[in-house]
Structure 1
Amino acid sequence: MATISITVHMSGGMELLFSNEPTHALTLPRHYAPSLTTLAPSPPASPPAPLDEGQETDVRFLVWWLREYLLSDRSRPELFSQGDTVRPGILVLVNSTDWELEGELDYVLQDGDELVFISTLHGG
């Protein structure tokens, strides 16, 4: 059962949604069951166990995992995501590259990847 280790950085106010922690070292399963990431009334009580086969872990899974298991204000997930992606106004970088150049949600995460979520929305 393989896993991958990645680092996720939050900035521009995103860290406020994730327990005021700007950096998170995560260990995720290398594969997942795609049915997990569908919007269900409630996620599994604990993060899914690694699988030997299935969908390779991608940014879609990461967004779901962050929302379901790391977001500190569980009553307001819409501040982070809309559907299976991040809400408009959140810039996502994969290894310092705009995620649009890497395939967005379909980018398959690799061991050692660094992802950054930056809020570009500010009140005034």
Structure 2
Amino acid sequence: FLTTICLEVGGAELLFDGVKEHQVTLPGQSDPWDMKQLLVWIQRNLLKERPELFVQGESVRPGILVLINDADWELMGELDYQLQDQDCIVFISTLHGG
């Protein structure tokens, strides 16, 4: 499965070299990609610094909202959601430093 998705990062651009929007073609694999695999891929390929501010364990940190095609990922199965070609994944950080 070859999957092309858009990724948007709001409020955490500094962790991604200041880039807010990414068009990503994920490497082909025999099974569909899921969100758990996507987070690992993001950590290895897109996160430029301080990954602990974005991921915690196998998921995103508390305080980061995740939308899949404008729907809360909690409604979509969170880490188990299987990505579809042309999905748009948005990560919005609600954490602000003082």
**1:67 equivalent in structure 2:** 43
**TM-score, length-scaled by structure 2:** 0.94
Task: Work out which of the residue numbers 90, 95, 98 in structure 2 matches 1:116.
Answer: 90
Rg larger in 1 or in 2? 1
What is the rounded CA distance, in whole Å, between the counterparts of 1:79 and 1:21 in structure 2? 16
- List runs of 5+ in structure 2 lacking aligned partners: none
What does the per-residue CA deviation read over 1:56-81, in whole Å, with 9 as the maximum and x for residues that have no partner? 201111111111111011xx211110
**2:15 equivalent in structure 1:** 17
What is the rounded CA distance, in whole Å, between the counterparts of 1:123 and 1:77 in structure 2? 16
Q: Which residues of 2 match residues 38-53 of structure 1 at below 5 A?
A: 50-51=28-29, 53=30
| Highest RCO, 1 vs 2 (Cα 8 Å, sep ≥ 6) | 2
Q: Which residues of 2 match residues 98-113 of structure 1 at below 5 A?
A: 98-113=72-87
- List runs of 5+ in structure 1 lacking aligned partners: 30-49
One-letter amino acid of the counterpart of residue 66, structure 1: I
Note the C-alpha offset of 1:21: 0.5
**TM-score, length-scaled by structure 1:** 0.75
One-letter amino acid of the counterpart of residue 56, structure 1: P
- In the TM superposition, structure 1's runs of 4+ consecutive aligned residues that sit over 6 Å from their partners are none
What does the per-residue CA deviation read over 1:31-50, in whole Å, with 9 as the maximum and x for residues that have no partner? xxxxxxxxxxxxxxxxxxx2
Is 1:80 matched up with 2:54? yes
Percent same amino acid among aligned pairs? Answer: 54
- How many residues end up aligned between the 2 structures? 98
Is the Cα contact below 8 Å between 2:9 and 2:20 reproduced in 1? yes
Q: Which residues of 2 match residues 86-101 of structure 1 at below 5 A?
A: 86-101=60-75
